[in-house]
Structure 1
Amino acid sequence: MEIAIQAEGLGKRYGDHQALAGVDLEVRTGTVLGLLGPNGAGKTTTVRLLATLLEPDSGHARVAGFDVVREAREVRRRIGLAGQYAAVDELLTGRENLVLLGTLLRLGRKRARLRADELLATFELEHAADRTVGTYSGGMRRRLDLAACLIASPPVLFLDEPTTGLDPASRQVLWQMVREQVARGVTVLLTTQYLEEADILADRVMVFAEGQVLAEGTPDELKHKVGEEWLEVAVGTAEELPRALAALTPVAVVPPTVDREGRRISVQLADRMGAIAASAAALETSGVDVIDFALRRPSLDDVFFHLTGATTATTEVEKR
């Protein structure tokens, strides 16, 4: 499979601040690479370097087969970029925004109109095509912004925190739009603070912190770095915790962990199905009032907190 985006040793410094410190990455054609990390981790700097908006202080990169420094013009012809804020003119209609951009990109006015109509339909904006963008909701503006990135049918798309500030319904719609583009063969580099977003959209994820890559792999590979699945049991009262703990300890690989405030016990099991059945039977025999009994898998939340040393969801990465 072709490599659409490749970088080796990318470095960028702003005064005394090292924004990027030797980042390597590779994105295969028709896939999504998610860059995950808090504000200031280096995600946006990486995008700006690859999109030719900045020049690296060290290292080199190629996008769509072209060097981002020596062949910047060729790179720009083959990419679309959606920044953290929708870059559309609020005084123009949705259709006028797209036609104007298509004309500036030398599609020709007729072709620009046809492409605008096609994108308005794709992004479900036909009903609002001739309204000024100032009347659009946040989700509609984001969809129009993504449509504008695709006006010239670029093979590579950079999305820098595209769903920040959107409500859950609008976020789901935008995710579906991105998946449709990838299905058509578009390569996407996505930066996000939403752990769920990276889990859903990305084929591979890179976890950033302080300008460096802490880990990289598929979402499942990163989750396995944290640990295996575990059984989580919640009981009705704090008084029942000791009995539940006594029932579950014999089937645990390591001593169970107890959350007394939440009245929950977490247990790592050796034999998944057999141990689950044995745990259920032991709890029933002990007469414990179980209000939740579920097998949990590590999430990207767990991966991030494990890699960065964070212990709560109050870090700058939002636990959604």
Structure 2
Amino acid sequence: MAGLFSKLKEKLTKTRQGFVDKVERIFTGATKIDEDLYEELEEALIQSDVGISTSMELVENLRKKVKERKIADPLLLNEVLKENIVELLGEKIELKLNDSGTTVYLVVGVNGVGKTTTLGKLARHFRNEGKSVLLAAGDTFRAAAIEQLEAWGQRAGVDVIKQSEGADPAAVTFDALQAAKARKTDILLVDTAGRLHNKVNLMKELTKMKRVVEREIPSAPHEVLLILDATTGQNAIQQVRIFQEAAEVTGIILTKLDGTAKGGVILGIQGEARVPVKMIGIGEGLEDLKPFEPDQFAEALFGEQEEEE
């Protein structure tokens, strides 16, 4: 676990520089805790893609604790802000599993967020836990999406259930469910089309796929996982709202956290969209998808920065 923590810390360098360092400069540069400091902090949080209402909430909570604890030294604010961030991120929430048969996850997200890549990494994650996994190539519209998923399936060591390009995604889902039940597969990961330009069609398609899943396995889908790209910042929060409406998202996988200064968006997602982040992507490798641990994330962002110098 210590190895994972130091890796996380290293991968969050850009976010730390773009977010935490900015905030710490405000605290170290202040001579007293006043309205100017709070305003400057709120602005820094908004600029770090935390989101307006979440930034206001964090500053308001900070203000309350400063009053309650009679804090006068600005240098003590860092610890209180970190405490507020841990509270906002909440408890670790595991991916739901079906105890009495195949667990089915519908995986949604716009094109370009790394959805296919994440499906491959998710498959590998479950394989590493000793579970059997099947992938369903339900994104039948994007050119080469099926081949791309097959390539990731090979890397992860799992089979892909597919039809031809342009096939009905619900039919592919049905085939995959039959295969999963026949093989007594532990986990079925269903890819979906990532088109957002026509929300009505997207909603219809996802609703149809969900109906097929529910009919075959009444307790399924056990999760509808939305893949978000951390580098898109505030745009990610907007995507949550659209997919919430279209697909009743139950959890988020936030990718590309290692390559962005916009990791603060994770706070905006939790604070404004109220959908739990369940896994994070912190690199290109097959093993670089990890369960999201809020405490560890906050510690990696804020913890012991002097020692890194």
- TM-score norm. by structure 2 comes to 0.29
